[in-house]
Amino acid sequence: MEPLGRRRFLRATLAGSTWLGPLASHLARAAEADHSGAPARSVIVLWLAGGPSQLETFDPHPGSKIAGGTRHIATAVKDIFLAEGLERVAEQMASISLIRSMMSREGDHERGTYNLKTGFRPDPTVTHPSLGAVACRELPVESCEIPRHVSILHSQWPGRGGYLGDAFDAFLTGDPLGPVPDTRSYLTPARDRARVDHLGALDRTFGRGREKRVEATLHRETMRSALKMMTSEQLKAFDVSLEPQATRRMYGETPFGRGCLAARRLIETGVRCVEVNLGGWDTHANNHQFVSNNLKILDPAFAGLIRDLRERGLLDRTLVLCMGEFGRTPSINPAGGRDHWPGGFSIALAGGGIRGGRVVGETDPDGRKEPASQVQVGGLFATIFTALGIDYQKVNQTPIGRTVRFSEGQPLEKLLGGS
């Protein structure tokens, strides 16, 4: 049913029943949150570094030769199936949509990562900004005293500001149980203040007669921002130990689970983009076992994030992406692994601006034919930017005067929706 029809149905047929009232209220809130129609204001990227196998995650083909014995499970949406091991994510399927026909021309890890994090193939003449950098640039927030672009458990190639500038690079941090890097001074408060005062005096002396050159370095603004962050109460957003134990268990007591929980806390504070990295998907050998181990981490974290965002009324303004740089071959190699496969892999999307419970594209169960309804990376990014209320065709100018758009694709209207 369409969102309005679903809400009307729930209110008309369930709300009057005493014992079904709580269920009706919960489902109605979920429908409204998932399909408010307003653009998302933040994005959380669950980055599966190494290239996850679509056949053991979001696009199973049970009983076929290419499945290699992988079984599927039903989800909360009729006729949409996931691979075994994603049972909790399956429960949240009404809020999640899948693209099963992603197409890329980059089968190398570094180049594929660049492609899926920026929407463009690597180009020696320009460095494109990552999704998070664009979100921070186009969705400013005044009250955020901590970095607005954060990478937790960062991969080898975290999001960069590209031609938008280094100010939009991701702030890199590790397991949220540990301290936030570079935010605590090892000096006494008095000694620390004295050093800042001395640096200020030196800066004023050096700046005499060369103010424009000094301001161009942005080091003063960098210093002010760093000092503000080090003393900000908003740093507590990184601290997942402040959450109830039940919430932490819901996400899973793993670094990745804690990273997803921290991501929710950070976007509540005003952070525009959080990337949480889960590595270990480069399964050239023993694919099924490695994927199975990773799903034990991914499943509770991904599902817990969707559920938590919904229950807090944040899902309608937060876009969640779960993806890697490419997929894995339909064939299984002699080492029991799957190799790089950029020609028909899967991505999951959920949250603000995205209609849940839908599937775009279809892959061949024999692994021979090209996927149906192919989606290029540019189209994915045009869809993401549209969901965020960002003009994907906006023309930008690089520092050397080159004009570049945010995306060269067209949005997938099937995934975009409102009330």
CA distance 386 to 135: 11
pLDDT attached to residue 221: 65
Rounded Cα–Cα distance for residues 104 and 120 (Å): 10
Are 97 and 359 spatial neighbours (Cβ–Cβ below 8 Å)?
Answer: yes
DSSP state of 39: P
pLDDT > 70? residue 363: yes
Per residue in 321-332, is it b (16+ CB within 10 Å) or e — as a string? bbbbbbbbbbeb
The span from the CA of 219 to the CA of 203, in Å, is 10
Model confidence pLDDT, tens digit, residues 236-294: 999 999 999 999 999 999 999 999 999 999 999 999 999 999 999 999 999 999 999 99
Q: Please, is 29 exposed, middle or buried when counting C-beta atoms within 10 Å of its C-beta (0-12, 13-18, 19+)?
A: middle
pLDDT (average), residues 349-359: 95
Give the whole-angstrom CA distance, residue 46 versus residue 324. Answer: 8
DSSP 171: E
Given a contact cutoff of 8 angstroms between Cβ atoms, the answer to whether 329 and 339 are in contact is: yes
pLDDT at 218: 62
Q: How confident is the model at residue 1 (pLDDT cuts 50, 70, 90)?
A: very low
Distances (CA, A) of 47 to 173, 320, 408: 15, 11, 22
Question: CA separation (Å) from 143 to 115, 228, 245, 272, 418?
Answer: 32, 12, 29, 12, 28
Q: What CA–CA distance (Å, rounded) separates 99 from 58?
A: 9
- Please count the other Cβ atoms lying within 10 Å of the Cβ belonging to residue 161: 21
Which tens digits make up the pLDDT trace of 374-397?
A: 999 999 999 999 999 999 999 999
User: Does residue 190 or residue 333 have the better pLDDT?
Assistant: 333
> Which residue ranges make up each domain of the chain?
29-176+239-405
- Chain position carrying tokens 């664009």: 134
Give the type of residue at 199. L
Find out whether 325 and 340 touch, Cβ atoms under 8 Å.
no
Q: Which residues contact 166 (CB under 8 A, 6 or more apart)?
A: 160
Query: What percent of the chain stands above pLDDT 70?
Result: 84
Could you tell me which of 311, 412, 291 has the C-alpha nearest to residue 359? Answer: 412
Banded pLDDT at 19 (limits 50, 70, 90): very low
CATH class, 29-176+239-405 region: alpha beta
Mean pLDDT of all residues in 193-220: 70
Query: How does the average pLDDT of the chain come out, rounded?
Result: 88
Of 149, 120, 124, 145, which is closest to residue 134 (Cα–Cα)?
149
- H or E element that contains 95: none
pLDDT tier, 38 (very low <50, low <70, confident <90, very high otherwise):
confident
Residue closest to 275 by CA, chosen among 181, 135, 406: 135
| pLDDT of 84 strictly over 50 | yes
Please say whether the beta carbons of 2 and 37 come within 8 A: no
Q: What is the pLDDT of residues 210-232, one digit of tens each?
A: 777 766 666 666 666 666 677 78
Residue 417, both tokens = 């929706």
Residue 373 backbone class (left: φ over 0; alpha: ψ -120 to 50; beta: rest)? left
Residue 318 Cα distances to 44, 114, 357, angstroms: 7, 23, 17
Element (H, E) at 44: strand 42-48
- Which secondary structure element, helix H or strand E, spans residue 399, and what is its range? none
Q: Smallest Cα–Cα separation from 272: which of 230, 319, 324?
A: 319
